Structure 1
Amino acid sequence: MQIIRHYEHVPPGLRGAVYALGNFDGVHLGHQQVIGKAAEVARELGAPLGVLVFEPHPQQFFFPERPFFRLTPFRAKARLLEGLGVDILAALPFDAHMAQKLAPEFVLDVLVNGLHAVHIVAGYDFRFGKGRGGDVAALSYMGEMEGFGVSIVEEVQAGGVTYSSTRIRELLAKGDPRGAADLLGHWWTVETHIQQGDQRGRTIGFPTANLPLGDHVQPALGVYAVKVEIEDGPHKGTYNGVANFGRRPTFDKQDVLLEVHIFDFDGDLYGVHAAISFIEYLRPEQKFDGLESLKAQIAKDSEKARTLLAGS
C-alpha cells in the first residue's frame, strides 16, 4: 500500500484511483461497506483502490482540549486498510489551510486537480469543506460537472443498530469489548510500545508489560482477557494474557496505565511494539487490602482469562 501525505504533485502512477472518503475511525463494518463498494468500482474500472483520510482527525484540530477519542490511531488504521486490499492511502494533513477550503475548493483542489480521482465513494452522512458545508448531494453534483463518478452507500445496520464509531466508543466505555467487536468486525486493539514500569509485578509473581494508551480512546477501567501480538524481534508471535487498565488503587497510583501479564512468557519486551486486543471484560478495578489478596485475585483473573481465550 502506497501512502500519500500531500495532494499536490501526486506521482502520475498514483493518479486516477477510485477513492473512498471518510475518517474511518475504527474501520468498522459500516466503513468496510463503503470501502467494499469502492473496491467493486475499482475492479470494474481497472483502477487502483484508494482511501482518503485526514491526519490529525479534524476533531483533534478543532477541539484539541477534548479527551482522546480515537479507536484507531493512524498506524492501526493503515494496517487495517491494507488488510482490506487498499492500494493507496491518502493521509492528508488537516490544518488551518485545509479547514478553510470551501466544499467546491476541496473537490477541485484535492479530488480533481490533486488526486485526479476517477470515482468517489462516500457514506450517506459524509460532510466536507469549511463548516461541513458540503454533503453527498453537492458531491454528486460536482461529480457530474467535473467528470468523475460518485457512489453513495446508505446507512448500514444490523439488528436495528447502526454501525458507528460513536456507538463503539460507548460500548468500550461500558466494558463491552465483544459488543464493540460485533460492530467493528474485528477485536478492538491498542497498538503502542512497551515501556519499563516499576517492576512491581515481578515481585508478586505476575510480571507485566506496561503500555501507555497514547491517543486511543479509554475503555472502562478494569481487568480484561487480552491477546498480545508482538510484531517483530525474537519474541514475534501472538500470546494470551490478562490486562488491568486503571489507576492501581492498591498502590495509591493516580495515573491511568495499561498493564498486561502475558501467560507463559519469559523475555525482555522493553521498547517493542505490541498490539493488545481486548477480548472480554472480567471485572472492575478494585482496591485490595494487601499483596496476598491482590495475588490471589490476579491468579483467579488469569485462570478465567485462560479459559475464555482457549476458545477464541
Structure 2
Amino acid sequence: MTPIVSISDLVSNGTGGSSLPEEFRGGAISIGNFDGVHRGHAALLSRVRRMADRVGGPAIAVTFDPHPVKLLRPELAPTRLTSIAVRAERMSQIGMDALVVCETTPDLLNLSAAEFFQSLVCDQLDAKGIVEGPNFFFGKDRGGDVEVLRKMAQQSKREIEIVNPELDGDRMVSSSMIRSCIASGDVAEAALLCGHRHLITGIVSKGAQRGRKIGFPTANLENIDALVPKPGVYAGLAWLPGENDYRYAAAIHIGPNPTFDDDGAVKVEVHLIDYDGGLYDQHLRVEFVDRLRDIQRFDSSDDLKMQLEKDVQSVRDLNLPKGKRR
C-alpha cells in the first residue's frame, strides 16, 4: 500500500523547514481530495508518476483531512466515498510513492494562495513539479486558481502541467457524480465511472439474529467508513481483511426490516454466501456489484425466506469472482 504520511499542522511547520522525511520531498505532486480515486484521479496521478520519473523524485498525492467543507460549511460536507486508507491502497496501483495527509485547521484555511504555495509546495514538499486539473483552487476564499498556480510555479522554477478532466461521454467524471449514483442505488454505474466497485468497511455487531433463525445469517455493520447506497437489496462481495482476503459472494440488505415492524432504522446487513464462521467484532469489507430490488414488506417470515432464496440465487447467477484476492 502507498505509505500515508501526516502533516499535523501545516501552518506551524511552514517556517522554511519540513516535517516530512527527505524521501518524500523533491518530486512531483498533485493536491486534491481524491475521494474515490476515480478514473479522473487515476489519469491525473498517472501523469504525476510520469513527471516524478522525469524529475527524479517521488510521486506524491496531497490531500486534507477532514474535508475543508466540514470546517467551512459543515452542513454541506459530503459523505466520503473512500477512507484515507482505501485511497492509499488504490493509489498504490497507480504507482504513487506516498499520500501526504494535511490536517485541516482554521489556520490552514486562512492561508492566502501565496502563503499556501510557499508553506506546502516549497517548504514542506520542495516539489520539483506540480500536476493539477483545470478546476483546481487553493488558498483562502479560493484565491488561487490554475493560472495563479502556473505563475507561482514558473517564478519558483517548478514544472507545472494542467491535465484535462476525464470524460464519460460529454460528462466530466467527478466524485459528486459518483456520489449521486451511489445515493440513488446505481452502484453499477458508479463502478463504471470510478474504475472499481464502491467499497465500505464496518465492524460486525450483534443484531436481532432473525436472519439466522430462517437460515440466512447476516453480519450487521456499524461504524461504516463511507457512503452507504440507497436502501435496497444488492449483490456484492464481502471479505475479512487480513484473512488472505478471501472474498465471498454476498447478498446485502440496506434499510429497515418492515416485515418485522422494526423501528425503521436503516441497517446494513450482509449475508456471506457459503460462509461458515464467526464475524462478530471484526472489520468486514463489502463491495457493491449491482442492485437487485427495493425493500419489501412480506406477510410472513416464510414469504421472506422464499424471497431471500431468490436473492441469493440472483447473486450466484452473476458468477462473481470469489476466492482469494490477487
TM-score strictly above 0.5: yes
Name which of 267, 270, 281 aligns with 2:280: 270
1:132 lines up with 2:142 in the alignment: yes
Distance in 1 (alpha carbons) for counterparts of 2:70 and 2:258 = 31
Distance in 2 (alpha carbons) for counterparts of 1:46 and 1:33 = 20
Identical aligned residues as a percent: 36
Asked if structure 2 preserves the Cα contact closer than 8 Å seen for 1:222 and 1:281, the reply is yes
1:202, distance to aligned residue in structure 2 (A): 0.8
With structure 1 as the length reference, what TM-score do the two structures score?
0.94
1:311, distance to aligned residue in structure 2 (A): 7.1
SS in structure 1 opposite 2:124? coil
With structure 2 as the length reference, what TM-score do the two structures score?
0.90
1:68, distance to aligned residue in structure 2 (A): 5.1
Asked if structure 1 preserves the Cα contact closer than 8 Å seen for 2:24 and 2:60, the reply is no
Asked if structure 2 preserves the Cα contact closer than 8 Å seen for 1:76 and 1:191, the reply is no
Residue of structure 1 equivalent to 2:256? 247
Distance in 2 (alpha carbons) for counterparts of 1:73 and 1:61 = 18
Residue of structure 1 equivalent to 2:246? 237
Name which of 161, 169, 174 aligns with 2:171: 161
The amino acid across from 2:166 in the alignment is V
The amino acid across from 2:295 in the alignment is E
Paired residues, number: 311
1:101 lines up with 2:106 in the alignment: no
The CA deviation string for residues 181-209 of structure 1, in whole angstroms up to 9 with x for no partner, is 11100011112222222222111110001
1:4 lines up with 2:5 in the alignment: yes
Distance in 2 (alpha carbons) for counterparts of 1:213 and 1:257 = 11
Q: Which runs of 4+ in 1 moved over 4 A?
A: none
The amino acid across from 1:19 in the alignment is I
Distance in 1 (alpha carbons) for counterparts of 2:131 and 2:77 = 30
1:148, distance to aligned residue in structure 2 (A): 1.4
Residue of structure 1 equivalent to 2:220? 210
Asked if structure 2 preserves the Cα contact closer than 8 Å seen for 1:68 and 1:216, the reply is no
1:18 to 1:157, Cα distance in 2 relative to 1, 3 A: same
1:63 lines up with 2:68 in the alignment: no
The amino acid across from 2:221 in the alignment is L
Point out the more displaced range, 191-200 or 297-306. Answer: 191-200
The amino acid across from 1:2 in the alignment is P
Asked if structure 2 preserves the Cα contact closer than 8 Å seen for 1:69 and 1:215, the reply is no
1:121 lines up with 2:131 in the alignment: yes
1:119, distance to aligned residue in structure 2 (A): 0.8
1:97, distance to aligned residue in structure 2 (A): 1.2
1:310, distance to aligned residue in structure 2 (A): 4.0
SS in structure 2 opposite 1:217? coil
SS in structure 2 opposite 1:113? helix
Residue of structure 1 equivalent to 2:102? 92
Asked if structure 2 preserves the Cα contact closer than 8 Å seen for 1:16 and 1:47, the reply is yes
Residue of structure 1 equivalent to 2:16? none
1:41, distance to aligned residue in structure 2 (A): 0.6
1:66, distance to aligned residue in structure 2 (A): 4.5
1:154 to 1:189, Cα distance in 2 relative to 1, 3 A: same
The amino acid across from 2:255 in the alignment is G
Distance in 1 (alpha carbons) for counterparts of 2:168 and 2:245 = 36
Asked if structure 1 preserves the Cα contact closer than 8 Å seen for 2:30 and 2:130, the reply is yes
1:67, distance to aligned residue in structure 2 (A): 6.8
1:36 to 1:67, Cα distance in 2 relative to 1, 3 A: closer
SS in structure 1 opposite 2:74? coil
Asked if structure 1 preserves the Cα contact closer than 8 Å seen for 2:23 and 2:58, the reply is no
1:215, distance to aligned residue in structure 2 (A): 4.7
SS in structure 2 opposite 1:194? strand
The CA deviation string for residues 236-289 of structure 1, in whole angstroms up to 9 with x for no partner, is 411101000112222223221210000011101122222211001000112222
SS in structure 2 opposite 1:309? coil
SS in structure 2 opposite 1:231? coil
